[in-house]
Structure 1
Amino acid sequence: MNKSGQNLMAGAGILTLAGIIAKVLSAVYRIPFQNLVGNTGFYVYQQVYPIYGIGVVLALSGWPVFISKIITEQPDEEHQQLVARRLFWWLLLISCGLFILVYGGAPILALGMGGNLKLLPVIKAVSWMFWFMPFLAVGRGFAQGQLNMMPTAVSQVIEQVARVAIIIAIAWYGVHADWSVYTIGTWAMAAAAFAAAAATLYIANIVKSIWHNPITKAVKKDKSIGWFRILHRLWNEGNLLAMLAGLLVLLQLVDSFSTKGLLQIYGLSTHAAEYAKGVYDRGQPLVQLGMVLATAISTSLLPVLRNHVVRSEQKMFVGDFQMMFRLSLILSGVATCGLMAVMPAVNQVLFSTREGSHALMIFVLTVIPATLILIGTSVLQSLNKTHGISWLIILTMLIKYALNIWLIPKHGIIGASWATMLSLLPMLYIVMHRLPKTLWQDWHSIHWWPKFMLTLLAVLIGAGGCCHIGGLLMGTSRLASLITLIIAVLVGIIVFIIMIWRLRLLSVAEWYALPKGYKVYNFLEGKNK
């Protein structure tokens, strides 16, 4: 592999590690937070969270990836700096507009989120983070465009660590100071701005470097990087990347504007609807955790796919895609079945009650289509075949809203869970259908599907059986559930490893692609020295 290829893979590794740390932090902190503030406090936070989530996706995923792409296209440093400067001013203008929209429109947003005007200060608090987006997006994107992934990785971890620490500290202090859940929610959302400021301080030198050198008149007159040409590309390419990265956040946004009111039609009082929405929102961190490993594998392999496209290595592209798809399908499938099997215990251990376990079992089914959509759209991006995907995302949001209206008044939060999972299926079908037919030729052996389904069934029975027996023998207290959960998870992992080994579900190359997979494979084959 040449030097640029090595840099690319090293960079992908750094971003993957940072992404895993950030995702785990983002999922795990909600557990002590919910334990401190309760389901109603969790509802207050989760109602406004999608606004924060959209900001993070823009500043971390969508815009920086687009900026890095447009930076790498430039012939020299002078062009790169001019493009970065113009993008900064456009993003500052957009961020200003988003701040005005959220801060000024807070009363309208609060009314839309179930008519709860107590959410007003919570919504206003989150709006301040938008001012830091131009600095973070341009700083990260400019560095990535020069194959320097470290600033993005470190700033991402700084932002998450700072935010999580502030939120937990606020929740702890607020509960002991007898604050209302809305005051705690306001300060918890304000943590987003403080965390963004910390990340901006780290990345400030890169942003400053964009203005180091004067730009010649000839470069300024280059029409390919004119002001409106850049804006057009930002709107079409940058926003598409952001929408793809934030698909689940956008579905959360639909829930914020519809679920509470629909739960009241279902027959719940205002307080009971808020409480039930808080229980339903427990599913978000569980889905994030379920997607971590499969997402990490796809993230690390995608730069390799892009290299194959550039070098016209069709056979290697097909082989790597098929391996990535199989691994992601297996890992997302086993993560889903494992979570479903141990859900009552997980719910008890993490959130102190077993309320809503049935709804959460359905909710985690989202892991499979969400993971496969992520992989499919990423491959389409590498092939420049993303035309019309933005409309597909909007269609998915509309389907989610329609399913909410149909299912929640009949089935409560179980209906909301089904609506989330089912809304992703049309998009999954269309994305998979748009991938080139050549990618699907001989992508699995003749008995692969029966072996895969048998493996999932074995994990479901093994882990679920342990969970059920543990509940009968030790009871359902939090401590007893923790012991049951640990045993069930270990049994599930052992059953999974034995099944994929005995059934030869993975090739040797696929074993080696998994983290520490070569050690497990050699041990099972008796080759361990």
Structure 2
Amino acid sequence: MGFLGGAALLTAAVAVSKLLGALYKIPLGNLLGSRGMGCFQAAYNVYGVLLTLSTAGLPLAMSRLIAQSRGRPRRQRRIFHVALALFLALGLVGSGVMLTFPRQLSGLLHNELAAPSIRVLAPALLAVCLLSAIRGYTQGQGQMLPTAVSQVVESAGKLVVGLGLTWYLLTVRGVSPEIGAAGAMAGVTVGSLLALLVLTLRWLPSCMGSDTPPSRREVLGQLLKIGVPITLGAGGMSFITLLDQSVAMDALQSRLGLGLEEANRQYGEYAFALTLFSLPPSFLYPISVSLVPAISGALGQGDRRTARRHTRTALRMALLLALPSGIGLSVLAGPVLRLLYPAQVQTAAAAAHHLRVLGLAAVCVCLMVVSGGILQAWGHEHIPVVTLLTGGAVKIAVSYRLVSDPAWGIRGAAVGTLLCYALIAGMNLLAVGRTTGIVFRWGVPLRTLVAVGAMAVTASGFYRMLVHRASLPLAVLGAVAAAAAVYGGLVLLLGAVRREELCAVFAAKKRRKPSGFF
């Protein structure tokens, strides 16, 4: 499967997963409210750090080594076995920490109410570690279907079990929002276990071939050499996100004098915006995942021309997807949140202030994800580590300063997030230009900005026109449809996207080399 064909398949799977996720998260927010969502987000941040440390770099390292070992199935099998053992050890350690020390972990975030959710999430960490081993193997072979199927199964399990259990606990048993959040986390655990079961039964690698595999020590050394820098970068960002929440909660309580429940409620409002903020980058991760084996395979065969072509295409697609999604969230932040959370009117209004800023930050995250994947695929794993840590330091400093200011309060956290990711994306793109030899040309970015500007004006204008004449759902959907039509028409009319790239996405056909950087 070609690079864009694989990316298109994963993007379709992400779309289905996100639809299922929306059916999970939106009713969940209406059920839990800002207090329960504060606990939910706190537990997820702890889980995210341990999960990132366990799985961020090794699947990419695995897919890269397997892509470079095509035609040598016994070598690929050895890589898989060594990685699986490593994932098992990391998963057991991480799950053990979450099971044994939930109160201590929640205490680090100044939110002890999240302890039950952290404990319930513990088995999910082990399941996802094992999932990552199989996904890394199949991605390295250019097979994106296993990852796609497992993502959909994981989301479906989370929806059915998590939402159903939360509804039962809150409405039938009458438990507190903190326990309701733990019920939601049970869905995450069950979904991960179901996805692991599907991959284990269907896509475990076979052992065919006559090549001589390397020693386990050699494979382990290669995995760690590639994976550790990637893990440090991604793990650094997850740790910084965790520290950022801790700093924000501490500032709200110690500097602004709020109690634990009020601080948790305000952070819960911010968490409502974070749910939508994470949507645009999730559609760019498939490009990054498909990119690493595609570029690594080309470089392994000495074909730098193809590697550069994949790099150009990935950056173009990132720009075309990131700008409209992020700007659209900013422009329609209030209406979208009111539409999704009708049972939480005040929370939705407060979250809209955060989302207007986070929509801009989402554009930067999308560019950061793809540019970081490019640097890793080209063998420059250390660069994203440096840029992530630099941006993270800015995030912590700005967030603490602004959240501690009564004039800003929790709204300062979104500003810190925007500055952080803008800095990281800018540094990554400069590094891509330096390390790959690709020359920046600004024709397509400028044309895309023109299309996005027209899209934003259309979305705002249509919403204002329709909201007084129709219901809120019709006004929002009408504005989105009109904006999408304007953007799609203009990117084609102005030449921001090429016909052969559309063919590659929808039919996985071979494309001619684009000219220039964009």
TM-score range, shorter chain: 0.7 to 0.9
Aligned to 1:286: 276
Judged with a 3 Å threshold, the aligned counterparts in structure 2 of structure 1 residues 268 and 305 are, in CA distance, closer, same or farther, namely same
Checking the alignment, whether the CA contact within 8 Å between 1:135 and 1:207 is kept in structure 2 is: no
What is the distance in 1 between the residues matched to 2:506 and 2:246? 40
1:485-524 to 2 correspondences below 5 Å: 485-509=476-500, 512=503
Q: How many residues align?
A: 497
Query: Which moves more between the two structures, 414-423 or 393-402?
Result: 393-402
What is the distance in 2 between the residues matched to 1:175 and 1:277? 21
* Structure 2 residue ranges without an equivalent (≥5): 510-518
Judged with a 3 Å threshold, the aligned counterparts in structure 2 of structure 1 residues 133 and 70 are, in CA distance, closer, same or farther, namely same
What per-residue deviation string (whole Å, max 9, x for no partner) do you get for residues 147-169 of structure 1?
Answer: 44433332222122111221110
What is the distance in 2 between the residues matched to 1:52 and 1:268? 26
What is the distance in 2 between the residues matched to 1:230 and 1:310? 17
What is the distance in 1 between the residues matched to 2:52 and 2:227? 11
Aligned to 1:196: 192
Residue 93 in structure 1 maps to residue 89 in structure 2: yes
What is the distance in 1 between the residues matched to 2:16 and 2:304? 34
> Secondary structure of 1:443's partner?
coil
What is the distance in 2 between the residues matched to 1:257 and 1:117? 12
Checking the alignment, whether the CA contact within 8 Å between 2:248 and 2:413 is kept in structure 1 is: yes
Judged with a 3 Å threshold, the aligned counterparts in structure 2 of structure 1 residues 452 and 129 are, in CA distance, closer, same or farther, namely closer
Judged with a 3 Å threshold, the aligned counterparts in structure 2 of structure 1 residues 14 and 451 are, in CA distance, closer, same or farther, namely closer
Structure with max Cα Rg: 1
Judged with a 3 Å threshold, the aligned counterparts in structure 2 of structure 1 residues 375 and 492 are, in CA distance, closer, same or farther, namely same
Give the CA deviation at 1:345.
Answer: 0.5
What per-residue deviation string (whole Å, max 9, x for no partner) do you get for residues 451-474 of structure 1?
Answer: 444333222222112333444x25
Aligned to 2:514: none
Aligned to 2:262: 272
What is the distance in 1 between the residues matched to 2:7 and 2:458? 35
1:112-511 to 2 correspondences below 5 Å: 112-114=108-110, 116-177=111-172, 178-205=174-201, 225-227=215-217, 229-242=218-231, 249-250=238-239, 252-264=241-253, 265-296=255-286, 305-306=295-296, 308-315=298-305, 317-352=307-342, 353=345, 354-410=349-405, 411-437=408-434, 439-441=437-439, 443-445=441-443, 451-471=447-467, 473-474=468-469, 480-509=471-500
Give the CA deviation at 1:138.
Answer: 2.7
What is the distance in 1 between the residues matched to 2:310 and 2:195? 35
Q: Which amino acid aligns with 1:360?
A: L
What is the distance in 2 between the residues matched to 1:399 and 1:313? 38
Give the CA deviation at 1:233.
Answer: 3.7
Q: Which amino acid aligns with 2:442?
A: H
Judged with a 3 Å threshold, the aligned counterparts in structure 2 of structure 1 residues 251 and 444 are, in CA distance, closer, same or farther, namely same
What per-residue deviation string (whole Å, max 9, x for no partner) do you get for residues 406-438 of structure 1?
Answer: 111221232100111111233223211212446
Checking the alignment, whether the CA contact within 8 Å between 1:13 and 1:300 is kept in structure 2 is: no
What is the distance in 2 between the residues matched to 1:381 and 1:58? 17
Give the CA deviation at 1:244.
Answer: 5.9
Checking the alignment, whether the CA contact within 8 Å between 2:292 and 2:376 is kept in structure 1 is: no
Aligned to 1:104: 100
> Secondary structure of 2:350's partner?
coil
What per-residue deviation string (whole Å, max 9, x for no partner) do you get for residues 233-277 of structure 1?
Answer: 444423444566678755542343222222233354432221211
Judged with a 3 Å threshold, the aligned counterparts in structure 2 of structure 1 residues 393 and 292 are, in CA distance, closer, same or farther, namely closer
Judged with a 3 Å threshold, the aligned counterparts in structure 2 of structure 1 residues 436 and 360 are, in CA distance, closer, same or farther, namely closer
| Selected match of 2:60 from 58, 65, 70 | 65
Checking the alignment, whether the CA contact within 8 Å between 2:387 and 2:428 is kept in structure 1 is: no
Aligned to 2:26: 31
What is the distance in 1 between the residues matched to 2:358 and 2:290? 27
Aligned to 2:515: none
What is the distance in 2 between the residues matched to 1:268 and 1:488? 39
TM-score in terms of structure 2 length:
0.83
Checking the alignment, whether the CA contact within 8 Å between 2:3 and 2:290 is kept in structure 1 is: no
* Structure 1 residue ranges without an equivalent (≥5): 1-5, 519-529
Judged with a 3 Å threshold, the aligned counterparts in structure 2 of structure 1 residues 13 and 319 are, in CA distance, closer, same or farther, namely closer
What is the distance in 2 between the residues matched to 1:9 and 1:497? 19
Give the CA deviation at 1:49.
Answer: 0.9
What is the distance in 1 between the residues matched to 2:289 and 2:139? 15
Query: Which moves more between the two structures, 267-276 or 372-381?
Result: 267-276
> Secondary structure of 2:278's partner?
helix
Checking the alignment, whether the CA contact within 8 Å between 2:315 and 2:370 is kept in structure 1 is: yes
Q: Which amino acid aligns with 1:85?
A: H
Checking the alignment, whether the CA contact within 8 Å between 1:106 and 1:120 is kept in structure 2 is: yes
What is the distance in 2 between the residues matched to 1:167 and 1:248? 27
Judged with a 3 Å threshold, the aligned counterparts in structure 2 of structure 1 residues 23 and 112 are, in CA distance, closer, same or farther, namely same
What per-residue deviation string (whole Å, max 9, x for no partner) do you get for residues 112-134 of structure 1?
Answer: 111x3332222111122233245
What is the distance in 1 between the residues matched to 2:380 and 2:431? 8
> Secondary structure of 2:381's partner?
coil
Identity in percent:
22
Give the CA deviation at 1:375.
Answer: 1.6
What per-residue deviation string (whole Å, max 9, x for no partner) do you get for residues 373-408 of structure 1?
Answer: 112122212221222433433343333222221111
Give the CA deviation at 1:174.
Answer: 1.8
What is the distance in 1 between the residues matched to 2:136 and 2:314? 26
Checking the alignment, whether the CA contact within 8 Å between 2:233 and 2:386 is kept in structure 1 is: no
Give the CA deviation at 1:186.
Answer: 1.7
Checking the alignment, whether the CA contact within 8 Å between 2:295 and 2:378 is kept in structure 1 is: no
What is the distance in 2 between the residues matched to 1:9 and 1:450? 23
